[in-house]
């Protein structure tokens, strides 16, 4: 209908051509406006501001078409018009009508620009150069409409790509600006990696867009590239300018994005540096705090030189140990300074940490120096105290070694006096002349013990000085006397040269006396000492052992009570945070469809368990805290109530299946968020299963600490009860997985045992080959033993949506226990036993995984068979007694009632014995024996004349399936059989080794 040819008027005005088209008037107004608007948007703003030139070619059309075109242009042209050229119809009549019409309707077109009616194309050339017109208008401008459309489409796509890319960059930039920085290293690393990945992806998009624009630009410029003399028309020039403008816009957008990303990336890297700095700070500060704590506890200053020297070594070791942490702290502070100098955004957070690190290092160093000073003074003090003590001892030794006879003369007294004066002068060398000054010098480290020691040494110094002063005065008097010589008669020396002083001599004497006394009564003292030591040692060990056991019992009780309290709190949170919220209108819109009307399936009887523990069990356990010996009684008292766990565990597979369907729903996420739980609901739904198994562990530990004490028997019984309950729960969870059994499992009695075995079958009925194949090819069967029936099932494991395999048991076969016999040992394998049915018409050889498992099953089957036998024995005895009483009442008087009763009992016993078919022979006396004891060898030789009866292999099966023999006199065969079975002691219902 129209096209934009790309030509220009003399003043550069863009030209739009409306060629002849018969369907122009049928074009909808909206489409006309859209196209005209698009065409006016193509030229540059400068060209569009000059005004558009419109050429309407209607040479072969009618005036009505001209009128319609002008009307549309006048009413809907969105651009600035300069001129409108109309090539009017060439036919005479239509030209005439056009001339008249244009005169009459010019004002109706409402155009402010001139409308020039042209008769021919040559007239148009007077206004527009031929080089700007296409060939259909007599010009030389090359124009291909398809090429123009292709260029415009490519340009528009590129413009859209530029716009979309800019929007993506804007959105990404907004996300980056609004992202909160993480608080730990790992999250910061993840965020940095994520943002870097998105940035790289957007950069790839930018490169791709730029490549697209450059390719388009090359495509538009291709004619010039191929032919240097080719000149682009204005339209192509406009296209080139548009693409270049878009490329510039894309480049500017990319530069702005790069600048923003550089800042953001720098901030993320600084954030990561900060998180590493903070993490290192926390670790180093923890180490330094521990070091400071150890240093603060280092308060001892020693009681002697040796202790002080040891303390100095320990302080040196502590200093060396802390050196590594101090160096790390100093290095981290330097790293913090570097971050601050690099204009880090978190300077306000880094500066206090650097200050804190340096403060802790300085405090540790100063405190270490202070302790070195204190220990140095302590070492100096104790060194001086030791020297003072040694000075005193030396002085005492000096006084003790001065011979009295030598001091009687003037020369001797003067010599002794000279020795004393020389020794007194050494007091100044040891700075012991002024005790007050000595006290003030070390006042900073004088503790009570050190003060006492100092006071003792100072007192000793005063005493020694006083002794020297007195001796000095005496010697001076002797030296001053001028009397005649007197014959000296000296007594025994006061002390030996080897002794230090008179006082030590007396102490040594007393010590010798004590030693002599000890020698005289030594053996008795030693024996008594050993006895007393041994007794106290044993008492100490015993008290420590009892104390340890008591402490362990206390710890176990505390753990039991505390874990019980936590358990109740967790159950309460589930009840209030999940179970109650299922019925809450506030969260009704979040509840998944799979959970509708299935709250009981998901939670089971959790509320019942919570009520029992919260109202009853927690309080009763709390009452045992002071009396642990009552713990076993508490569990035994509530063993019936604890059966509620069996119901919960049986429902657990259904609950887990439902959780797998709806566990990811927003409802559970919202409940978890409100409760502030770290774990999801399924972890808490497992708590009851974990709790019921926890009790038996705690009871075992309590039993270890309660041997031979009050309540031990009850503890053992409680532990056995809990283990039996766990086994029962475990068995019941297997039982609910049985499929294909037509009947009610509850009618079979209590489930006694369950387990997997290898099973071989051997049937009398059937083809021999089938029997042989069956015997040597074991089947994998899972057996369920009930009071009334033994079930054979096949275990199947199924995947549950990627979760753990859940077993199911497909029912295959069953045996009534009233018709079952057992052979305990099978030759060749001590892990095998036989179950046979209906007199060995069907034999099942069962191989257990271990001898222990086999023995457990054999024992349990024997208990079932024995129980049936005792029940039948009691019933038959009751019937026999009733019948004997009735016979006694109707017997003739001549016959003894006792004898009649005995005969009837013998008959009934015989009937009962024939019904109780045994593998081998029957012994009525065996009723009085223990039926549980099995035979080790079941091989028995049978006489030919009794083969009819001897071939019968009886078990307890006959109790319900066989009829009583007819009443009346016994036949010969029966009598013979009765005679035969008296001599066979084989127990009822069991076999020994199957040979």
**Residue 3: what pLDDT?**
56
3-class SS at 629? helix
* Positive or negative: CA dihedral 955, 957, 960, 961: negative
d(CA 461, CA 391): 9
Q: In terms of pLDDT, which residue wins out, 915 or 760? A: 760
Q: How confident is the model at residue 92 (pLDDT cuts 50, 70, 90)?
A: low
**Residue 764: what pLDDT?**
64
**Residue 616: what pLDDT?**
92
**Residue 542: what pLDDT?**
36
| pLDDT tens sequence across 683-726 | 899 999 999 888 999 998 888 888 777 888 899 999 999 998 88
Among the listed ranges 131-145, 540-554, 616-630, which one has the minimum average pLDDT value? 540-554
d(CA 485, CA 137): 173
Q: List the alpha helices (DSSP H) in 22-144.
A: 29-41, 45-50, 63-76, 92-105, 121-125
Quickly count: other Cβ atoms within 10 Å of residue 175's Cβ: 11
Q: List the alpha helices (DSSP H) in 631-767.
A: 631-637, 644-662, 666-675, 681-685, 687-704, 712-735
Among residues 63, 66, 133, which one has the least CA distance to residue 91?
63
As given in the structure block, the two tokens for residue 462 are: 């005063």
Q: How confident is the model at residue 862 (pLDDT cuts 50, 70, 90)?
A: very high
d(CA 648, CA 656): 12
Q: Phi and psi dihedrals of 784, rounded to 5?
A: -120, 115
pLDDT above 90: percentage of residues in the chain: 13
* Length reported for the chain: 995
Question: Span 861-889, mean pLDDT?
Answer: 77
Q: Residues of 801-820 as b/e, b for ≥16 C-beta within 10 angstroms?
A: eeeeeeebbebeebbebbbb
Quickly count: other Cβ atoms within 10 Å of residue 658's Cβ: 18
| pLDDT tens sequence across 756-794 | 999 998 776 554 444 444 455 789 999 999 989 999 999
Question: Span 312-330, mean pLDDT?
Answer: 89
- Does the structure show a pLDDT above 50 at 175? yes
Among residues 809, 808, 784, which one has the least CA distance to residue 798?
808
Contact between residue 20 and residue 94 where contact means Cβ atoms under 8 Å apart:
no
- Does the structure show a pLDDT above 50 at 401? yes
Among the listed ranges 197-211, 381-395, 490-504, 595-609, which one has the minimum average pLDDT value? 490-504
Q: How confident is the model at residue 95 (pLDDT cuts 50, 70, 90)?
A: low
Q: How far is CA 715 from CA 566, 698, 778, 879, 930, in A?
A: 24, 11, 43, 44, 31
Q: How confident is the model at residue 205 (pLDDT cuts 50, 70, 90)?
A: confident
CATH class given for the domain over 579-732: mainly alpha
Rg (CA), the chain: 58
Q: How confident is the model at residue 18 (pLDDT cuts 50, 70, 90)?
A: confident
**Residue 901: what pLDDT?**
40
Contact between residue 854 and residue 990 where contact means Cβ atoms under 8 Å apart:
no
Q: How confident is the model at residue 475 (pLDDT cuts 50, 70, 90)?
A: confident
Cα 13–chain centre separation: 77
- Does the structure show a pLDDT above 80 at 796? yes
Which residues are bridge partners to 757 per DSSP? 781
**Residue 520: what pLDDT?**
29
**Residue 617: what pLDDT?**
92
As given in the structure block, the two tokens for residue 803 are: 């979760």
Highest mean pLDDT among 296-310, 321-335, 405-419: 321-335
d(CA 686, CA 668): 16
As given in the structure block, the two tokens for residue 375 are: 């220990």
Question: Span 328-345, mean pLDDT?
Answer: 88
**Residue 148: what pLDDT?**
80
3-class SS at 844? strand
d(CA 730, CA 650): 9
Among the listed ranges 360-364, 760-764, 942-946, which one has the minimum average pLDDT value? 942-946
- Does the structure show a pLDDT above 70 at 553? yes
| pLDDT tens sequence across 612-657 | 999 999 999 988 888 888 899 999 999 899 999 988 998 888 898 8
Q: What is the side-by-side strand order in the sheet with 820-826? A: 738-739, 803-816, 789-800, 779-786, 751-763, 842-847, 832-837, 820-826, 990-994
According to CATH, the topology of domain 153-280 is Methane Monooxygenase Hydroxylase; Chain G, domain 1 (1.20.58)
- Does the structure show a pLDDT above 70 at 84? yes
Q: How confident is the model at residue 469 (pLDDT cuts 50, 70, 90)?
A: confident
According to CATH, the topology of domain 737-878 is PH-domain like (2.30.29)
What kind of architecture, by CATH, is found in domain 4-143? 3-Layer(aba) Sandwich (3.40)
Residues 6 or more apart from 255 whose CB is under 8 A from it? none
Question: Span 553-560, mean pLDDT?
Answer: 87
CA atoms within 13 Å, Cβ hemisphere of 656: 16
| pLDDT tens sequence across 424-451 | 887 766 555 565 666 667 766 767 777 7
- Does the structure show a pLDDT above 90 at 861? yes
3-class SS at 53? strand
Highest mean pLDDT among 140-154, 479-493, 660-674: 660-674
Cα 793–chain centre separation: 37
Among residues 734, 723, 655, which one has the least CA distance to residue 692?
723
Residue owning tokens 């498992």: 853
**Residue 573: what pLDDT?**
93
Question: Span 945-967, mean pLDDT?
Answer: 37
Q: How confident is the model at residue 4 (pLDDT cuts 50, 70, 90)?
A: low
- Domain extents for the chain? 4-143, 153-280, 405-479, 579-732, 737-878
């Amino acid at each position: 209908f129209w096209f934009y040819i790309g030509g220009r008027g003399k003043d550069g005005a863009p030209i739009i051509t409306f060629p002849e088209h018969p369907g122009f008037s049928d074009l909808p107004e909206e489409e006309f406006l859209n196209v005209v608007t698009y065409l006016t948007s193509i030229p540059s703003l400068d060209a569009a501001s000059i005004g558009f030139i419109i050429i309407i070619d209607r040479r072969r059309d009618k005036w009505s078409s001209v009128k319609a075109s002008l009307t549309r242009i006048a009413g809907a042209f969105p651009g600035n018009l300069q001129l409108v050229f109309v090539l009017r119809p060439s036919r005479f009549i239509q030209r005439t009508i056009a001339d008249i019409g244009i005169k009459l309707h010019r004002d109706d077109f409402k155009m402010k620009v001139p409308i020039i009616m042209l008769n021919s194309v040559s007239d148009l050339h007077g206004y527009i150069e031929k080089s700007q017109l296409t060939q259909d208008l007599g010009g030389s401008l090359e124009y291909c409409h398809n090429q123009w459309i292709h260029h415009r489409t490519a340009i528009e796509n590129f413009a859209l790509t530029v716009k979309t890319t800019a929007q993506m960059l804007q959105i990404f930039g907004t996300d980056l600006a609004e992202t909160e920085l993480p608080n730990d290293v790992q999250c910061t690393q993840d965020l940095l990696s994520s943002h870097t990945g998105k940035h790289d992806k957007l950069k790839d998009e930018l490169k791709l867009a730029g490549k697209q624009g450059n390719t388009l630009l090359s495509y538009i410029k291709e004619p010039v590239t191929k032919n240097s003399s080719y000149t682009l028309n204005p339209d192509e020039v406009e296209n080139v300018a548009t693409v270049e403008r878009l490329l510039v816009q894309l480049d500017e957008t990319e530069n702005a994005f790069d600048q923003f990303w550089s800042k953001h990336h720098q901030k993320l890297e600084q954030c990561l540096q900060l998180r590493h700095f903070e993490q290192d700070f926390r670790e180093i500060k923890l180490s330094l705090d521990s070091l400071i704590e150890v240093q603060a506890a280092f308060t001892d200053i020693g009681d002697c030189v040796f202790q002080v020297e040891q303390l100095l070594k320990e302080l040196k070791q502590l200093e060396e140990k802390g050196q590594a942490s101090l160096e790390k702290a100093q290095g981290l502070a330097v790293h913090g300074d570097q971050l601050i100098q690099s204009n880090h955004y978190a300077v306000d957070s880094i500066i206090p940490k650097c200050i804190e690190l340096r403060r802790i290092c300085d405090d540790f160093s100063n405190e270490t120096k202070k302790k070195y000073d204190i220990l140095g003074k302590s070492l100096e003090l104790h060194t001086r105290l030791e020297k003072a003590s040694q000075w005193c001892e030396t002085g005492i030794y000096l006084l003790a070694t001065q011979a009295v006879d030598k001091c009687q003369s003037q020369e001797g007294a003067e010599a002794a006096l000279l020795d004393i004066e020389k020794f007194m002068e050494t007091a100044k060398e040891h700075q012991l002349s002024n005790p007050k000054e000595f006290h003030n010098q070390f006042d900073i480290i004088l503790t009570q013990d050190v003060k006492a020691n100092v006071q003792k040494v100072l007192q000793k110094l005063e005493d020694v000085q006083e002794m020297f002063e007195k001796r000095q005065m005496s010697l001076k008097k002797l030296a001053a006397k001028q009397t005649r010589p007197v014959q000296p008669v000296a007594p025994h020396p006061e002390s030996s040269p080897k002794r230090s002083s008179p006082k030590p001599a007396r102490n040594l004497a007393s010590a010798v006396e004590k030693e002599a006394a000890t020698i005289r009564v030594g053996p008795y003292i030693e024996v008594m000492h050993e006895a007393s030591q041994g007794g106290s040692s044993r008492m100490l060990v015993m008290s420590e052992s009892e104390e340890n056991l008591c402490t362990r019992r206390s710890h176990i009780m505390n753990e039991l009570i505390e874990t019980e309290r936590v358990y109740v709190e967790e159950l309460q949170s589930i009840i209030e945070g999940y179970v109650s919220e299922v019925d809450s209108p506030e969260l009704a819109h979040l509840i998944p469809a799979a959970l509708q009307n299935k709250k009981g399936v998901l939670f089971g009887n959790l509320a019942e368990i919570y009520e029992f523990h919260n109202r009853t069990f927690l309080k009763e356990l709390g009452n045992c805290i002071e009396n642990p010996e009552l713990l076993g009684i508490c569990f035994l008292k509530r063993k019936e109530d604890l059966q509620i766990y069996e119901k919960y565990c049986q429902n657990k597979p259904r609950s887990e299946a439902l959780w797998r369907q709806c566990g990811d729903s927003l409802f559970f996420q919202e409940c978890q968020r409100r409760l502030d739980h770290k774990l999801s609901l399924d972890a808490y739904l497992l708590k009851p299963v974990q709790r019921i198994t926890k009790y038996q562990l705690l009871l075992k530990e309590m039993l270890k600490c309660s041997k031979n004490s009050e309540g031990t028997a009850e503890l053992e019984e409680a532990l056995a009860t809990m283990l039996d309950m766990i086994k029962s729960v475990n068995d019941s969870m297997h039982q609910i997985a049985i499929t294909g059994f037509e009947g009610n499992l509850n009618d079979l009695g209590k489930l006694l045992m369950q387990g997997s075995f290898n099973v071989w079958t051997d049937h009398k009925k059937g083809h021999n080959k089938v029997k042989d194949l069956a015997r040597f090819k074991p089947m994998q069967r899972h057996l369920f033993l009930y009071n009334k029936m033994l079930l054979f099932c096949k275990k199947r494991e199924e995947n549950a949506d990627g979760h753990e395999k859940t077993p199911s048991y497909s029912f295959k076969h069953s045996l009534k226990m009233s018709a079952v016999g057992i052979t305990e040992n099978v030759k060749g394998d001590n892990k095998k036993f036989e179950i046979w049915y209906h007199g060995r018409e069907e034999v099942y050889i069962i191989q257990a995984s271990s001898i222990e498992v086999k023995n457990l099953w054999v024992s349990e089957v024997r208990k079932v068979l024995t129980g049936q036998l005792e029940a039948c024995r009691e019933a038959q005895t009751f019937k026999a007694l009733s019948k004997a009483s009735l016979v006694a009442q109707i017997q003739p008087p001549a016959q003894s009632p006792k004898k009649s009763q005995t005969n009837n009992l013998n008959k009934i016993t015989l009937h009962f014995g024939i019904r109780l078919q045994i593998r081998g022979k029957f012994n009525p006396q065996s009723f009085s024996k223990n039926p549980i004891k099995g035979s080790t060898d079941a091989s028995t030789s049978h006489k030919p004349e009794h083969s009819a009866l001897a071939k019968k292999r009886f078990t307890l099966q006959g109790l319900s399936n066989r009829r009583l023999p007819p009443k009346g006199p016994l036949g010969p065969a029966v009598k013979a059989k009765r005679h035969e079975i008296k001599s066979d002691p084989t127990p009822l219902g069991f076999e020994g080794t199957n040979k």
